[in-house]
């Protein structure tokens, strides 16, 4: 008798077995199916209790747009995007996860962030009449930084988000041509000066692209996405929505 091993079946069996054994990243409990706001999540990192307990912004109070909150609008002057959708303030466990993803290469977190953003975004779509999305972009890294790090965390989150919502995603349209010094500790106007002429568009945007979503991991002053928004609006884009995992506002003196 000869044995034929189908590698695909072995792989599927192993991944199912491993899936069943996965432990919650935060509390160690077994991870089964998880839901958020009625949507089943495509993730195996967190148990249902931890998913429910994460420190999300309450999207219903702010109509899915943090700029409708006057204190946040005041804290982000001179911005050129129109809406801001963030999952959570920059706090535990998101701050820890974002650092692990950025510096330790925990790529599986991109899918968790993409999935959580998707569930929250879809819940807001059913509650409100929202503009259709014509294109999804992510904030690009300069090629030098990309070579050192090997990946762009905003791109990984955007890819997961766009594929789960079947939205067109273009990772090459916006290119960062200037390798800026760190933005940390700079004021809004210093950041704007530092970022001038940092980005270019690789090609013309089609006339029918009116609403663009830009994905980032953390937003502080919004100046980076503002620079990209200015470029997009010069080419006929009417509305830019910034979608980010975390928002951390600049400290007021």
Binding site for Zn ion (CB under 5 A): 24, 26-27, 29, 47, 50
Q: Which long-range contacts (CB under 8 A, 24 or more apart) does 73-77 make?
A: 75/249, 75/250, 75/252, 76/221, 76/222, 76/249, 77/188
In 10 A of CB 200, how many CB atoms? 12
Environment class of 237 (CB within 10 Å of its CB; exposed 0-12, middle 13-18, buried 19+): middle
Q: What is the largest CA-CA distance in the chain?
A: 79
Q: Which is nearer to Zn ion, 25 or 217 (CB)?
A: 25
Is the Cβ of residue 14 or residue 29 nearer to Zn ion in the bound state? 29
Query: Min. distance of Cβ 83 from Zn ion in angstroms?
Result: 31
Distance CA 66, CA 75 (A): 11
- Residue 89 or residue 93: which is nearer to Zn ion going by CB? 93
Q: How many residues does the chain have?
A: 253
Cβ at position 49, least distance to Zn ion in Å: 5
In whole angstroms, the minimum distance from the beta carbon of 211 to Zn ion comes to 36
Write out the DSSP string of 76-144.
Answer: STT---SEEEEEEES-TTHHHHHHHHHHH--THHHHHHHHHHHHHHHHHHHHS--PPP-EEEEPPPPHH
Identify which of residues 50 and 173 has a Cβ nearer to Zn ion in the complex.
50
Nearest approach, Cβ of 53 to Zn ion (angstroms)? 8
Q: Which is nearer to Zn ion, 23 or 37 (CB)?
A: 23
Closest distance to Zn ion from the beta carbon of 208 (Å): 44
Min CB(25)–Zn ion separation in Å: 7
> 32, 15, 233, 215: which is closest to 118 by C-alpha?
215
Give the residue with the Cβ less far from Zn ion, 19 or 236. Answer: 19
């Amino acid at each position: 008798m000869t044995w034929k091993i189908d590698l695909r079946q072995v792989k599927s069996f192993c991944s199912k077995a491993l899936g069943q054994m996965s432990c919650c990243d935060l509390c160690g409990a077994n991870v089964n199916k998880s839901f958020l706001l009625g949507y089943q999540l495509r993730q195996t990192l967190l148990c249902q209790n931890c998913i429910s307990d994460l420190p999300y912004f309450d999207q219903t109070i702010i109509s899915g747009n943090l700029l409708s909150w006057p204190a946040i609008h005041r804290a982000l002057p001179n911005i050129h995007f129109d809406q801001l959708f963030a999952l959570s303030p920059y706090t535990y466990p998101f701050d820890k996860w974002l650092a692990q993803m950025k510096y330790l290469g925990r790529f599986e977190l991109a899918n968790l962030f993409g999935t959580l953003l998707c569930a929250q975004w879809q819940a807001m779509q059913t509650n409100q009449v929202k503009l259709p999305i014509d294109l999804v972009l992510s904030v690009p890294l300069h090629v030098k930084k990309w070579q050192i790090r090997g990946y762009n965390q905003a791109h990984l989150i955007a890819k997961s988000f766009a594929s789960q919502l079947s939205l067109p995603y273009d990772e090459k349209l916006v290119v960062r041509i200037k390798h800026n010094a760190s933005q940390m500790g700079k004021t809004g106007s210093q950041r704007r000066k530092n970022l001038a002429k940092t980005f270019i568009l690789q090609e013309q945007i089609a006339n029918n692209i009116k609403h663009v979503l830009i994905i980032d991991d953390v937003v502080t002053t919004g100046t980076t996405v503002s620079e990209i928004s200015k470029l997009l609006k010069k080419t006929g884009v009417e509305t830019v929505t910034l979608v980010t995992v975390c928002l951390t506002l600049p400290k007021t003196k």
